[in-house]
Structure 1
Amino acid sequence: MQTGDHVLVKKINKSIVLQTIQSSSPISRAQISKESGLNKATVSALVSDLMEENLVQEIGTGLSSGGRKPVMLYFNQTAGYSIGVDLGVNYILAVLTDLQGNIVEKVEEHLEETSTSFVFSKLTQAIHTLMQKGEESTYGVVGIGVGVPGITDKDGMILFAPNLHWEQVDLKGFLEQEYNIPVVIENEAKAGAHGEKIYGAGKESSDLIYISMGIGIGTGIIINDKLYKGVSGISGEMGHFTIEANGKKCRCGNKGCWELYSSESALLEQAQSLSSVKDMDITLESLIEEAEKGNTEVINLFNRIGEYAGIGLTNVINTFNPEQIIIGNRLSKLQKWLINPIQHVLEQRLLSYYYDSLTISFSHFGIHSCALGSAAFSVEAFFSENKVTVS
């Protein structure tokens, strides 16, 4: 029993030291002792362990405060790498990050179809390219995280992805068999929320909702600094709020879903009827070019998409009373055209008590939030051996 207690205490203390170095490096052993409350001998022993594992390095001496110059320690963020994937309806965006979440390499692929055989093939090509870049390190690629536009359970099974036409797809099992490393599969909006909370626009907020506005709309919910998943792991399908009682039929089986009126697919569909762009190849990027040129039809369409975004956000804010809303994914590129109609609708429809305490932000990472959050899931799984949560 004593041995078990000793091992647990050491693991807890090692976790504290590692997290202190990760968040505050460069830092000396004395500073770690002061910040953590651990005695200097314990800190020194645990730092030695972490240096043997190549997770911590000495980088030279710092300024003296009167005695010997302290040796400064640094978290070795390139001891390993993680792959994060944003699996969209018509694209794959995959990133290789170091252990601190910095993007080292990126691969983008267009998807011409959504069959599992085609997507799995394209996905393995992208991952293989990144694997080769990350292998030359102590731990190599420590894991793969994939954000998908659909409902996933707690075991990583893709239960239903309507825009991909997928049901009961075991992508996790396929990738683990292919690469023999840990794989995390999560809803893309939850992954995006996680990325923004750890690295991006949501770092300072304890309660936030991330709105992923792409081909569809998904939401990731952070409550008390933690990602909220719901009892079955499928929370956040707010793109399927009904905002038009007798509206268009949705692939989910419902009518009048929010994402039918304020998503990239809604935008592209409505743009087909604009006379000023009828001879163009209509894409999000080509519409942005037209708006930049002053095309009033396109600008008006962006405004209408923003108004519907505001209507959906009214429901979200009334339900959760969040500190912050972060808008990400592809439509975050329309920030300068969406922000005013969104704010106008919220001012009209929300009680001032909600609006006065709310911050509306756009993603720090634009289209990269999901991929970064997915990579972060794998990094956290890797570090779980050194981390102990004490509640």
Structure 2
Amino acid sequence: MITADQTLVKKINQKRLLNEILINSPISRAKLSEITGLNKSTVSSQVSTLIEKKLIFEIGQGQSSGGRKPVMLVFNKNAGFSIGIDIGVNDINGILTDLKGNIIYDQYHYIENPTSEKIKGLLFSVIHDLKEHMPESPYGLIGIGLCIPGLVNSSQQIIFTPNLEWDYEIDLKSLIEEEFKVPAFIENEANAGAYGEKGFGAAKNFDNIIYVSVSTGIGTGIIINDELYRGVNGFAGEMGHLTIDLNGLKCSCGNRGCWELYASEKALLNSIRKKHKPTAYQEIIDLANQNDPEILNALQNFGFYLGIGLNSILNTFNPQAVIIRNNIVEALPMVLNSIKNSISTRIFSQLDSNFELLPSILGKNAPALGASSLGIEHFLEIFTA
């Protein structure tokens, strides 16, 4: 009879116990044994290892159910810290988090006329500043996650950014790892946003979701059976380039009539008459709250076109929930209602009541949190080996 490798078994048990402590702490050894089905000696041994690694620690005694009061265990969220960076079309949002995704410090910068060199210089400056604000901890900085609005291949190389000027010869992952001496991870912005909402936001209670990021373009992150779906080369989720108008406008991707040409924030700004000349989403929100007829009509059309593309996504993936990340949608319920109306007039009646359409809870921090969690997961994977 073939027996499993004991080292592998110990690793699996340790990861399982750490995950339960992370989710359920404070928790006792006895409760861990009950939840996992592992015997008490195995739990005791692996808990001792995790304490030695400073990933968990003991606090005071819990309530007794009849015998000796149990010693409670807590996940050490301050064992190390991770950095998440979201590079937008014309901005950078950076966060420093603990191992549970709590934001310790953040930085936001608008970039005028962004170029590859300007972005890279500011990026490294932001990381250095975030690192300087990191509290003392056993492991210090454990990883840096970065996301961009474009295609990232399975080797974590940036290969196409339709709305952002970028030098594709730059090996950003290697440059970051060389400069900061920690693992770096590069991901598509919408994938990172989906990861962030799944771990910390509106998608926590769903296993199958579509995250839709609506800004200068439109990107989608796909989570199927609790796992991020990237596709064979890492390019899955480019739903902004679904064709919704066969003879439509020419897109920077080379296609015509792409969804994002009609339903992105850029498209919304372009659709508003020059009388108002709004240049940012906050101006649109302010005018909508003043009941400006032109703005309200433009927002109605914005929601309509978002619903057109979402209808195709719903028919394709049949998710439990769609999470929309957009400042305007999050601030104005009328836009979400417009999206719902657009969907309901086109979708199968059997599907219409079987999904939830939700605004992002994490807002602009969703992608950065998702990027940070990539470093956290890698760190915990290594230290339960």
Give the TM-score, by structure 1 length: 0.94
User: How far apart, in 2, do the equivalents of 1:335 and 1:230 lie?
Assistant: 34
Partner of 1:341: 338
Task: Measure how far apart 1:63 and its partner are.
Answer: 0.7
Is 2:285–2:332's contact at 8 Å kept on the other side of the alignment? no
Return 5+ residue gaps in structure 2 as ranges: none
Q: What letter corresponds to residue 157 of structure 1 in structure 2? A: Q
Alignment of 1:180-191 (within 5 A): 180-191=181-192
Correspondence for 2:179: 178
CA distance in 2, matches of 1:146, 1:363: 20
Q: Mapping of 1:225-264 within 5 angstroms?
A: 225-264=226-265
Cα pair distance change 1:208/1:3, threshold 3 Å: closer
How far apart in 2 are the matches of 1:386 and 1:93? 28
Report the counterpart of residue 84 of structure 1 in structure 2: 84
Q: How far off its partner does 1:264 sit?
A: 1.4
In the TM superposition, residue 349 of structure 1 has moved relative to its aligned partner by 0.6
> Do structure 1's residue 311 and structure 2's residue 308 form an aligned pair?
yes
Question: Which consecutive segments of 4 or more residues in structure 1 shift more than 6 A?
Answer: none
Residues 299-335 of structure 1 show CA distances to partners (whole Å, capped at 9, x for unaligned) of 2111111110001101111111111111014444344
Deviations 1:160-182 (A, max 9, x none): 00111335242212211211110
Matches within 5 A, 1:91-102: 91-102=91-102
Amino acid at match of 1:230: G
Question: Is residue 2:201 matched to residue 1:209?
Answer: no
Distance 1:81 1:329 in 2: 28
Q: Report the equivalent of 1:350.
A: 347
Q: How far apart, CA to CA, are the structure 2 residues paired with 1:224 and 1:183? A: 26
Contact 1:152/1:234 (8 A) holds in 2: yes
Partners in 2 of 1:3 and 1:37 — Cα distance? 19
Provide the C-alpha distance between the structure 2 equivalents of 1:334 and 1:214, rounded to a whole number of angstroms. 14
In structure 2, what is the Cα distance between the partners aligned to 1:195 and 1:309? Answer: 22
Deviation at 1:114, TM superposition (A): 2.5
1:267 aligns to what SS in structure 2? Answer: helix
User: 1:382 and 2:379 equivalent?
Assistant: yes
Partners of 1:150 and 1:250 in 2: CA distance: 14
Q: Tell me the residue number matched to 2:17.
A: 17
1:274-299 CA-partner distances (Å, limit 9, x unpaired): 42x14xx6211111111112212112
Q: Deviation digits for residues 43-80 of structure 1, max 9, x if unmatched?
A: 11211111111111111011111121111110010111
> Percent identity between the aligned chains?
46
Q: Is the 8 A contact 1:214 1:331 kept in 2?
A: no
| Structure 2 CA distance for aligned equivalents of residues 150 and 330 of structure 1 | 20
Separation of aligned partners in 2, 1:31 and 1:38: 10
1:193 CA drift (Å):
0.7
SS at match of 2:220: strand
Assess if the C-alpha contact under 8 Å between 1:192 and 1:210 holds in 2.
yes
| Contact 1:82/1:144 (<8 A) preserved | yes
Separation in 1 of the partners of 2:4 and 2:121? 46
TM-score computed with the length of structure 2 as normaliser: 0.96
Hey, what's the Cα distance between the residues in 2 that align with 1:334 and 1:249? 30
What displacement does 1:121 show?
0.7
Aligned residue identity for 2:22:
Q
Letter in 1 for 2:176: L
| Cα distance in 2 for residues equivalent to 1:154 and 1:113 | 29
8 Å Cα contact 1:210/1:328 also seen in 2:
yes
Give ranges in structure 1 of 5+ residues lacking alignment. Answer: none
> What is the CA-CA distance between 1:183 and the residue it aligns to?
0.6
Cross-structure match for 1:287: 284
CA contact (8 A) 1:208 1:324 kept: yes
- Please tell me whether the aligned partners of residues 329 and 369 of structure 1 are also in contact (alpha carbons under 8 angstroms): no
Q: Which whole-Å CA distance do the structure 2 matches of 1:20 and 1:31 have between them? A: 10
Task: Give the CA RMSD over aligned residues.
Answer: 1.7
Separation of aligned partners in 1, 2:128 and 2:330: 29
Separation in structure 2 between the aligned mates of residue 172 and residue 59 of structure 1, nearest angstrom: 39
Alpha-carbon deviation of 1:3?
12
Separation (CA, whole Å) in 1 of partners of 2:208 and 2:3: 40
Query: Are positions 1:34 and 2:31 aligned together?
Result: no
